[in-house]
Copies of this chain bind each other. A is one copy, B any other.
Amino acid sequence: MSFVQVRNVFQTYGARPILERVNLDVDEGEFVSIVGASGCGKSTFLRLLLAQETPSRGAIRIDGNQPAEEPGRERGVVFQRYSVFPHMTVRENIVAGESFARPPGRFFGAARKAAQARADETLDRIGLSHVAGAYPATLSGGMQQRLAIGQALVARPRILLLDEPFGALDPGTRLHMHDFLMELRRQTGMTVFMVTHDLEEGFKLGDRVLVFDKTRWDPDYPDSYGATITYDFDARNNGIPFQTPTTPDLLEDPHVLSA
């Protein structure tokens, strides 16, 4: 049985369907890139994986467990923005990754010292020790995202969800972040889902690239159908993908990927 199981998931907001019949199996340690037109429901799918929302129909299971009701430590997340706490220093942000799960939300005395020492090790690994005492607002965008990823990993999640994590960064910084992320992954063997707007990035980082799109389309009521996974590319062979259409009748559909 696969690690992440998505079974016949639908998501509807009010009367408006966003996702339809989404099915997916992901093995532990896979890196899944998700692409698709703007507004097609990529972030929605990530919210479902995160258990921030419950699907209207269907279920998502991790490791065969009951579907989660709300976000928790087994699912880490990094958004494009607002993924670190602006009122904590860089070091405190890392410590929070451990301390937030304890009742008072903070460590005291010796436990605090120890946590800070561990945080400093983490900062070393993600290359932020030189700004340990600074507030996030004084960091560049790239450093902030590095911190956000580091913080998420401190909680040792079973899957890591990234929603356009590098969307706000300039191209150079972006390349550095790719290296950073690949390096971290090599070390941890995490299962990762990453939404991106950048196809190149998706193929470069992912083992698989999922394309979300609508399979049905009513020109008069563009909102009447939801999107689903229309392509599932194997991207392991370093940029030479071969494609596996998930819905056979889609092979000739002209507007897939045109967005």
Contacts and interface: CB of A to CB of B under 8 A. Distances in A.
Interface of A: 170-171, 197-198
**Copies of this protein in the complex:** 2
3 contacts: A170-B197, A171-B197, A171-B198
Contacts of A198: 171
Among all A-B residue pairs, the 3 with the closest Cβ atoms: A170-B197, A171-B198, A171-B197
Contacts of A171: 197-198
A20 B198 CA distance: 38
Nearest to A197: B170
Contacts of A170: 197
A197 B172 CA distance: 10
A198 B171 CA distance: 8
A120 to B, nearest CB: 26
Nearest to A200: B171
Contacts of A197: 170-171
Nearest to A199: B171
A198 B198 CA distance: 16
Nearest to A172: B259
A135 to B, nearest CB: 19
A170 B170 CA distance: 12
A257 to B, nearest CB: 11
Nearest to A258: B172
A170 B198 CA distance: 9
A170 B171 CA distance: 12
A171 B198 CA distance: 8
